[in-house]
Amino acid sequence: MTQITEALVLALIAAVMAVPAFFIFNKMPEAWLQDYGFDPNAENVRLSKRLKPYHIAIFAIIYAVVVFISAYFYPDFLCFSNIVRVVALLVLFPGFTVIVMSDILNRIIPDHIIVLSIALSILYFVTDFVNGNIWIDAGKPWYYFVGNRVLAALVGAGLLFLIGFISTMIAKAEAMGMGDVKLLFLCGLLSGLKGLIFVVFIAFISAAVVAVPLLVRKRIRIAKEEKEIRESPDPAKARKILMKKKREMHFADDPDYLAFGPFLVLGTVLFLLYEPYFLELFKLHIAPLADLL
């Protein structure tokens, strides 16, 4: 099988791996896509949004493209010869799809999908011993490989929890959901300690890029609302109506909320696909800094 043929086959399989997410997502119990304490009989209950076929089509195209690029440019890394690594990556795609779309549509990352993905991450532990870990010398004892992933999970989740706790104390409102903390635990298991640097960097940079237009939109909307209040016959009443409307708005419909889960998944998928590239970046830009300390 030629290099381009193998890359095309892997890309096709990656595209197909987006499909199970449609059935998983749309068959999940309502409570899995709701906040804790969900009461289906409560007043003004907001049922979760579900996946549409075009959502899966978008993910299928994305998975096919990014996998093809990786398999074509790094044929010794993502190839059928490293079958455990290929399987370990591809089986995560349905769960990643569910996590991303659940966070976007419902502002919830289902615990059950996180637990399932953590269970599947064991394949990456296996990969370290079968296909090797390009970040750790093959001669190292087994606990180096295991500790690398477990420590990354604990450090990543712990730091994000701390950031969220401090931000919540400052802003007097929840700044980081526990779903993101659990997700970063998963990301750490998959990336390892050094890889976690790139996962977090990609996540925060891409989130910042998206946050800027959202902030601009928010300022424009607030200015428009204030103008409508000033021009209304009864500004005080108009403001009360607006505030009541905001209080009654479900948190999942808040236009100012930025789901962070998709960015963590983005960083993780890119890292897992292009580990050789990130290894070179580490050697060129990060390792020399450690030598200076």
State pLDDT tens for residues 110-160: 999 999 999 999 999 999 999 999 999 988 999 999 999 999 999 999 988
Report, as an integer, the average pLDDT of 192-196: 96
Predicted confidence band of residue 165 (pLDDT cuts 50, 70, 90)? confident
Rg over alpha carbons for the chain, rounded to the nearest Å, is 22
Share of the chain above pLDDT 90, in %: 71
Predicted confidence band of residue 292 (pLDDT cuts 50, 70, 90)? low
- Whole-angstrom Cα distance, residue 242 to residue 237? 9
Report, as an integer, the average pLDDT of 205-209: 96
Record the pTM.
Answer: 0.93
Q: What is the pLDDT of residue 290?
A: 67
For the cut 90, the answer to whether the pLDDT of residue 30 exceeds it is yes
Q: What is the pLDDT of residue 293?
A: 47
State pLDDT tens for residues 63-110: 999 999 999 999 999 999 999 999 999 999 999 999 999 999 999 999
For the cut 70, the answer to whether the pLDDT of residue 12 exceeds it is yes
Q: What is the pLDDT of residue 87?
A: 97
Report, as an integer, the average pLDDT of 272-278: 98
- Residue 192: which region, alpha, beta or left (left: phi > 0; alpha: psi -120 to 50)? left
Report, as an integer, the average pLDDT of 2-18: 96
Helix 53-73 crosses helix 3-16 at what angle (to 10 degrees)?
160
Report, as an integer, the average pLDDT of 174-190: 88
Q: What is the pLDDT of residue 291?
A: 63
The chain-wide mean pLDDT, for the chain, equals 92
Residue whose entry in the numeric block shows the structure tokens 């399989």: 13
Question: Would you state the structure tokens that stand for residue 266, as one six-digit string?
Answer: 């983005």
State pLDDT tens for residues 32-49: 999 888 888 877 788 999
Predicted confidence band of residue 171 (pLDDT cuts 50, 70, 90)? low
State pLDDT tens for residues 220-238: 999 998 888 888 888 888 8
Check residues 248 and 232 and name the one with the higher pLDDT: 232
Share of the chain above pLDDT 70, in %: 97
Q: What is the pLDDT of residue 106?
A: 94
